[in-house]
């Protein structure tokens, strides 16, 4: 009976750990949304405190922390108005998305556009096509 209980714990542990990181990233995302709409310093400080608490709980550098950061990055991109990467787009469509981002982003959100450009470049396996994408998407941001 003890062996079965230990086996169940070992099988379910990764699920609970992942769920914990996902729950924390959703909690943090909600905090960031609230802070963005309210614009009060106390709400922003609350998010900083919450992030610090989450990083301690998830142990920075762990798989759970990596998942938390990845989920949070998606949330932050949404809040900044940066579109999500769609690897199924053609190279021309990817270039247009990056260029549109560069044209509409304010100075603060422009870094998100550069990240978008980098993420799209990673989805292109052909070296010549990737080179053309990088040249075309860089020239539209100038």
* Percentage, residues of the chain above pLDDT 70: 85
> How many C-beta atoms lie closer than 10 Å to residue 50's C-beta?
16
pLDDT at 2 over 60: no
Going from N- to C-terminal start, the domains of the chain cover 2-80, 91-139
Query: What does pTM read for this prediction?
Result: 0.59
> How many C-beta atoms lie closer than 10 Å to residue 71's C-beta?
17
Considering the chain, what is the average pLDDT of its residues?
81
Which tokens in the block code for residue 12?
A: 């379910």
- pLDDT tens, position by position, 60-100: 888 888 888 888 888 888 887 788 888 899 999 999 999 99
Instruction: Look at the block and give the residue holding tokens 């020239």.
Output: 139
**What is the C-alpha separation between 66 and 2, in angstroms, rounded?**
33
**What is the C-alpha separation between 136 and 134, in angstroms, rounded?**
6
Measured CA to CA in angstroms, residue 45 lies from 34, 38, 81, 88, 135 at distances of 12, 12, 22, 39, 40
């Amino acid at each position: 009976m003890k062996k079965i209980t230990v086996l169940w714990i070992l099988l379910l542990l990764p699920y609970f750990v992942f769920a914990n990181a996902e729950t924390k990233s959703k909690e943090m995302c909600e905090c960031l949304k609230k802070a963005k709409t309210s614009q009060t310093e106390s709400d922003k400080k609350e998010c900083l405190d919450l992030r610090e608490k989450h990083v301690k709980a998830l142990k920075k550098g762990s798989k759970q922390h990596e998942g938390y950061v990845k989920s949070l990055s998606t949330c932050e991109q949404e809040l900044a108005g940066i579109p999500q990467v769609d690897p199924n787009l053609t190279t021309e469509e990817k270039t247009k998305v990056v260029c549109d981002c560069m044209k509409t982003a304010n100075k603060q959100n422009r870094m998100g556009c550069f990240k978008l450009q980098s993420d799209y470049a990673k989805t292109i396996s052909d070296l010549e096509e990737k080179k053309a994408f990088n040249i075309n998407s860089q020239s539209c941001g100038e």
